[in-house]
Chain A
């Protein structure tokens, strides 16, 4: 596609429910990143996928968070048993090569009530 597509754009969920966030990167981009943006906290790295290699999960804040990338393309970030502190904007980015820069999606705004 022309850009990185994320869905849904907004998600309101009840505390304790599971949510799935989707990212569709630019076709051909082998690198895919998930970041979390909280008010006043900047961007927090969550997970990195590169091709068919094992993902770098070092940024995931707890075992309630997981992500997968199917066929080297679409990625899904899953948050189980959501908590209020999970409320944030979740951003996905893809890249063809690290020194080319990154293309970000518009994000999913998650609100846990």
Chain B
């Protein structure tokens, strides 16, 4: 069975500071990992993905995420947060043999001016 944990319901950060949104996963085999962002009253927008290759993946809006196999983590990061980054962030995982991604419960990121 697949599972995704986002241990923080909310992350608060000051504008200009680095941010991290945590995600750990449990899947069988090699994982496909994704991050999505949801702005109010909108659907989820794709940020980045890890399929294979370099552990550090770069995505939209200056976000990046690091795949850590030993810790089964895929934390989302950004060097300098913007107020406009405030949104709900979802991590998703998919095992190589599955077709249905499992999403975490989401983390609300609040960037303070």
Which residues of A approach B to under 8 Å, CB–CB?
Answer: 4, 6, 31, 33, 35, 40-43, 45, 48, 50, 56, 59, 91, 93, 98-99, 101-107
Q: Is B83 an interface residue (CB 8 A)?
A: no
Do A106 and B99 touch across chains, with their CB atoms under 8 A apart? no
| In the assembled complex, B63 has its CB within 8 A of some CB on chain A | no
B43/A105 in contact, CB under 8 A: yes
Neighbour of B100 across the interface among A40, A56, A99, CB < 8 A: A56
Contact A50 B99 (CB under 8 A): yes
User: Number of residues in B with C-beta < 8 Å to the partner?
Assistant: 22
Evaluate contact between A106 and B41: CB separation under 8 angstroms: yes
Q: Which of B43, B101, B102, B104 touches A106 (beta carbons < 8 Å)?
A: B43
Interface of A is mostly: strand
* B residues less than 8 Å from A91 (CB atoms): 43-44
In the bound complex, residues from chain A placing their C-beta under 8 Å from that of B46 are 101-103
Interface residues of chain B, those whose CB is within 8 Å of chain A, are: 9, 32, 34, 36, 41-46, 49, 51, 90, 94, 99-106
Closest 4 CB pairs of A and B: A42-B105, A104-B43, A43-B103, A104-B44
Q: What are 13 of the A-B contact pairs (CB < 8 Å)?
A: A40-B105, A42-B103, A43-B106, A48-B99, A56-B100, A91-B43, A98-B32, A99-B32, A99-B49, A101-B49, A102-B34, A102-B44, A104-B44
> Which residue in chain B gives the minimum CB-CB distance to A3?
B43
CA distance A105 to B42 in the complex (A): 8
Known A-B contacts A50-B99, A56-B100; the reply to A104 vs B45 at CB < 8 A is yes
> Which single member of A4, A45, A50 contacts B43 (CB below 8 Å)?
A4
A31 to chain B: which residues have CB within 8 Å?
99
Give the shortest distance, in Å, between A11 (CB) and chain B (any CB).
Answer: 14
Instruction: List 4 other contacts, CB 8 Å, given A102-B34, A104-B36.
Output: A31-B99, A43-B103, A101-B46, A104-B44
**CB-defined contacts of B9 to chain A, threshold 8 Å:** 40
Asked if residues B102 and A45 are in contact (CB atoms below 8 Å), the reply is yes
